[in-house]
Amino acid sequence: MGTWVGRYAIVDGQVREHGPWLVDRRREREDETIRLLVLAEPADRRSAEFCSEVAEAVAALFARESLSITGGLLRALQQAHTNLAEWNRRSLREHRVAVGVTCVVIRDGEATIVQVGPGLAYVSGQHSMTRLSTEGLPAAAPLGGPDEIEPRFTATDISGREVLLLTSTVEEIIGLRQVEESLAAGPEGALAELFRRTRDVTDMTAVLVADLDIEDGGMPAPLDMDLDDIEGREVVLPDIDSGHRTAAPRFEAERAPEPTARRRWGPQSSQPIPFPSIRRPARTVGRTPLEAQLPWRWIALAVGALLAVGLLSWTIGPGLLTQDRAAELDKVLATAQQQLTTATAAQRADDRRKALQAVLAATEKARAIAPDDARVRTYAAQAQAELSKLDAVSDVGTATQLLKFEGTVTAPVNPQTVVVGGRSIWFVESDRGRVFRMDAAQPSTPEEVYRAGSTYGGTPARDPKSIAWDAQSGRLLLLDEGRSLFTMSETAKTPVPVVLRGAPELGSPNAIAVYQRSLYILDPGKGEIWKYFPASEGYDSERTGMLGGVDLGTATGLVVDGDVYVVDQGRLRRFRSGKETAPLLDGIDTPPKGPVALVEDLQRSLLFLADRGNKRIVVGDREGRFVRQYRNPSFGDLRGLAISADGSRLFLLSGDGISYFDVAPAGQPPVQPSGSPSASPSGTPANGASSSPTPPVAASTPVGAGAAATPAR
């Protein structure tokens, strides 16, 4: 038995034996032989030209590693991703690329398959086939994308099996059943069967790793392909007699050699499976061989004319070319100048950003014409400076840690949301359905004040759904999974159940907020935000629908300040007098991705959105404008967000504890910590964290009033 690899590719509708997206390498060290196959696939059309380079880079990076197979592959893919992501970061958005990679490492009859981004692999045995894909998994993030990569690893024994790597668009075109039927033909006929079904695909690569019963040094049985099946396609086969090779669909099949002395990585030598020779005699329609000879006199005249044209081009052409390049440069720079003027006059930040991006696109074209022209650098610098102002990025160096869960809160700890109220910090831990309170002025071990499964005032407590602070009453409200409403104060020892009229009739309440003592409940299931006026100690009043029934999608976060704000996946939506207004965060560079919490500074009318997917906190105003963003790599673990009474400090809930940093007053850069050694030339601090040991929290002022913190489940 031997391990064989067969392959074919179709590039721009032409069949090839080896496509540009596939790299095949072998490494032999001491008594170990490893073979690596790397198949790249573009995530979009503009990324196609980079696939070859990415595949080569992954193979080269893997060759340098002395780690295990999985460790080496992971390191190689991570390094390639880092390099491509950095290239994207320095490029215009329309020039950014992303590539999927599928690798197979073959060693001692075992195949290790790793997938990241788009790409498909199939493992076929005698009675079943397994489809390996990254769809719906973290591994779906491609190389070069904004997210960290998490490759999918699969190991399989090759004995009695075939492994097929296939460009994912093939399945979209011919369907999974056709792939299954091709593999059912067995290792000798699978590629031929697959080719019959994919001959109309314009760009693809197929690679088959199979275990074939052959003798050492022998060739496998030819992959059975009917040449009549590919009639009409641009296919030229190798002529065995003459040795002339032309671009042809050649299914290569080869056997891994026995271990030899140590060699460096290099292209895999192979013996192609020969096709029958096809002879086509030259045709001379209606002419004798003598008449078919070339007319040498006319050729001589044509050569003379070409020489004359070449001489004129040599003497006159450079001047004309220079004039054309100068005219083209002036035209492109005029476009850049016009877009700069448009950006200056734009009223909306989004329009200004689009005009500035058009300036950068124009300067890229101009740089290709005249790389050293000073005007190109000037326009690009102006546009980039204005875009940096619009991005309004403040880097938070290190937030001050207020509480570390390890050693202070009994495990397991899965923090979900945080609220600042009175002089306390309240946070929810969802694994055991607990709520903790901690004195913000004198941080100490948190006190457990609520636990699911307990009974308070005769009402069984269930997992917390949402919490909100009622500043005027000085109490915390908690809505649980059973739609029971509890209150907790800083002095009371146990939660108190209060009336919530019509709670069983609610659809799917998942967030609450308090504004001017009224309770607001977000109910996406009913397409409503319900308003309850306070009655006695609870809310035994008729509820009022504020929206009249709208599509709230999967809204999870709620803030009320007269207007109503909800977080709906990547959108921040506002409703005023029951009507939805224009989209918020006008002028932001990148839309939110994975928002987890929303709070408001009522004094300055600023909204703070924790955007975990982009590792940042986004700030906007009530009129819908994007104001600034705070960034830090640790923000990728944000779970909740709260704000101090005076709006000067943000509290961050993460998986390991609670921390905080000082934020900027409206219209000003973030506050620089005293004694900080670094600040940017513009006066914007490089580190927005405060060195103050305790956060200021006023008991009489609403903290994040109207804000609801909702556990992410």
Q: What is the DSSP string of 156-210?
A: EE-TT-EEEEE-HHHHHHH-HHHHHHHHTT-TTTHHHHHHHHHTT-SSEEEEEEE
Mean pLDDT of the region 659-670: 71
What residues are paired with 152 via a beta bridge?
A: 115
What residues are paired with 154 via a beta bridge?
A: 113
pLDDT tens, position by position, 190-247: 898 999 899 888 889 999 998 776 544 343 433 334 434 433 333 333 332 333 333 3
Give me the pLDDT at residue 29, please: 67
User: What confidence tier does 713 reach under pLDDT thresholds 50, 70, 90?
Assistant: very low
Please check the confidence at residue 331 and state whether its pLDDT lies above 70: yes
- Cβ count within 10 A of residue 580: 14
Closest to 596 (Cα-Cα) out of 360, 403, 396, 418? 418
Is residue 624 within 8 Å of 565, Cβ to Cβ? Answer: no
Mean pLDDT of the region 319-335: 78
Residue labelled with tokens 């005769």: 458
Q: In terms of C-beta distances under 8 Å and separation of at least 24 residues, what long-range contacts does 429-437 make, across chains too?
A: 430/463, 430/464, 430/711, 430/713, 433/461, 433/462, 433/463, 433/464, 435/464, 435/467, 435/478, 435/488, 436/409, 437/488, 437/490
pLDDT tens, position by position, 41-90: 999 888 888 898 899 999 988 887 777 788 888 889 998 998 898 888 88
pLDDT tens, position by position, 361-370: 999 888 888 8
* Tokens linked to 464: 């917390």
246, amino acid identity: T
Is the overall model pTM greater than 0.75, yes or no?
Answer: no
Closest to 275 (Cα-Cα) out of 321, 317, 227, 308? 227
Q: Name the packing angle between helices 349-369 and 296-345 (round to 10°).
A: 150
**Does 2.120.10.30 match the CATH number of domain 395-708?**
yes
Please check the confidence at residue 697 and state whether its pLDDT lies above 60: no
Residues 6+ away with beta carbon under 8 Å from 186: none
Q: What is the rounded CA–CA span in Å between residue 226 and residue 193?
A: 10
Is residue 526 within 8 Å of 509, Cβ to Cβ? Answer: no
pLDDT tens, position by position, 455-512: 999 999 999 999 999 999 999 999 999 999 999 999 888 999 999 999 999 999 999 9
Closest to 91 (Cα-Cα) out of 299, 314, 417, 360? 360
Give me the pLDDT at residue 302, please: 67
* Tokens linked to 168: 């994912």
Residue labelled with tokens 């609801």: 708
Q: What is the rounded CA–CA span in Å between residue 620 and residue 473?
A: 28
Residues 6+ away with beta carbon under 8 Å from 34: 26, 27, 28, 69, 105, 106, 107
Is residue 477 within 8 Å of 516, Cβ to Cβ? Answer: no
412 upstream amide cis, omega within 30 of 0: yes
Give me the pLDDT at residue 132, please: 92
The mean pLDDT value of the chain amounts to 79
Q: What is the rounded CA–CA span in Å between residue 66 and residue 59?
A: 13
Give me the pLDDT at residue 265, please: 37
What percentage of residues in the chain have a pLDDT greater than 90?
A: 46
Is residue 359 within 8 Å of 377, Cβ to Cβ? Answer: no
Residue bearing the bigger pLDDT, 401 or 30: 401
- Report phi then psi at 527, rounded to 5: 65, 35
Closest to 346 (Cα-Cα) out of 116, 693, 556, 586? 586
Lowest mean pLDDT among 117-126, 246-255, 540-549, 703-712: 246-255
Give me the pLDDT at residue 437, please: 95
Give me the pLDDT at residue 547, please: 93
- Report phi then psi at 476, rounded to 5: -95, 135
Residues 6+ away with beta carbon under 8 Å from 613: 147, 592, 593, 594, 595, 636
CA distances from 418 to 340, 427, 446 (A): 44, 4, 13
Please check the confidence at residue 707 and state whether its pLDDT lies above 90: no
CA angle (335, 337, 339) in 5-degree steps = 70
Residue labelled with tokens 């790409």: 119
pLDDT tens, position by position, 625-649: 999 999 998 899 999 999 998 888 9
* Tokens linked to 420: 């600042």
Neighbour-count burial of 469, counting CB atoms closer than 10 A to its CB (0-12 exposed, 13-18 middle, 19+ buried): buried
* Tokens linked to 197: 């079904």
Q: What is the rounded CA–CA span in Å between residue 694 and residue 440?
A: 7
Q: What is the rounded CA–CA span in Å between residue 405 and residue 153?
A: 33
* Tokens linked to 268: 């895999």
Give me the pLDDT at residue 210, please: 87
Lowest mean pLDDT among 123-132, 227-236, 496-505, 537-546: 227-236
- The DSSP-derived string for 424-441 is EEEEEETTTTEEEEEESS
Is residue 190 within 8 Å of 182, Cβ to Cβ? Answer: yes
Give me the pLDDT at residue 309, please: 60
DSSP 220: P
User: What confidence tier does 1 reach under pLDDT thresholds 50, 70, 90?
Assistant: low
pLDDT tens, position by position, 165-188: 999 989 989 989 899 989 988 888
Mean pLDDT of the region 345-349: 91
Mean pLDDT of the region 114-140: 89
Superfamily per CATH, domain 2-230: PPM-type phosphatase domain (3.60.40.10)
CA distances from 501 to 54, 522, 530, 533, 571 (A): 61, 15, 11, 11, 31
Q: What is the rounded CA–CA span in Å between residue 486 and residue 500?
A: 10
Q: What is the rounded CA–CA span in Å between residue 482 and residue 439?
A: 29
DSSP 95: G
Give me the pLDDT at residue 665, please: 64
Mean pLDDT of the region 372-398: 92
User: What confidence tier does 161 reach under pLDDT thresholds 50, 70, 90?
Assistant: confident
* Tokens linked to 694: 């305790």
Is residue 646 within 8 Å of 640, Cβ to Cβ? Answer: no
Give me the pLDDT at residue 213, please: 64
User: What confidence tier does 298 reach under pLDDT thresholds 50, 70, 90?
Assistant: low
Is residue 15 within 8 Å of 235, Cβ to Cβ? Answer: yes
Q: What is the rounded CA–CA span in Å between residue 564 and residue 578?
A: 9
Residue labelled with tokens 């070319």: 321
pLDDT tens, position by position, 608-628: 999 998 999 999 998 899 999
DSSP 518: E
Region of residue 491 (left: phi > 0; alpha: psi -120 to 50; beta: else): alpha
Residues 6+ away with beta carbon under 8 Å from 437: 424, 425, 426, 446, 447, 449, 488, 490
Q: What is the rounded CA–CA span in Å between residue 184 and residue 157?
A: 18
Helix (H, G, I), strand (E, B) or coil at 214: coil
User: What confidence tier does 676 reach under pLDDT thresholds 50, 70, 90?
Assistant: very low
Mean pLDDT of the region 518-539: 93
Please check the confidence at residue 428 and state whether its pLDDT lies above 80: yes
380, amino acid identity: A
Please check the confidence at residue 409 and state whether its pLDDT lies above 50: yes
Is residue 498 within 8 Å of 485, Cβ to Cβ? Answer: yes
> CA end-to-end span of the chain, whole Å?
51
Give me the pLDDT at residue 119, please: 92
